[in-house]
Amino acid sequence: MTHTIPATERIRANEAVERLARAAHHAVDRAAAKAETLSETRQAWLASAGDHVRKRPLRSVLIAFATGLVIDRLLR
């Protein structure tokens, strides 16, 4: 017993698959754009932090030390 799918059902199924594919491509494009923006933000933040450390090395070390102490106390 063979079961054939009517042409109209195949057309509807193909259209649904095409809509899903377009939506998936759109989601991937948006995710790639967001990743690029986050990467640029991260690079800018790292550059800013590096400038701060170069300008005020002692203060940076003291802040890092104090942060370490706080984290140590919180994890005990």
Tens digits of residue pLDDT in 17-73: 999 999 999 999 999 999 999 999 999 999 999 999 999 999 999 999 999 999 999
- Tokens linked to 12: 């509807």
State the residue range of the domain holding 45: 7-75
Whether residue 1 lies inside any domain: the answer is: no
User: pLDDT band at 10, cuts 50/70/90?
Assistant: confident
C-alpha 76/C-alpha 68 separation (Å) is: 12
Is there a domain that residue 34 lies in?
yes
| Residue 60 near residue 52 (C-beta atoms within 8 A) | yes
Does residue 60 fall inside a structural domain?
yes
**Assigned domain for 24 exists:** yes
- Does residue 18 lie within any of the structural domains? yes
Q: For the chain, state the CA radius of gyration.
A: 27
pTM value is 0.54
Pick from 71, 40, 68, 45: which is nearest to 53 by CA? 45
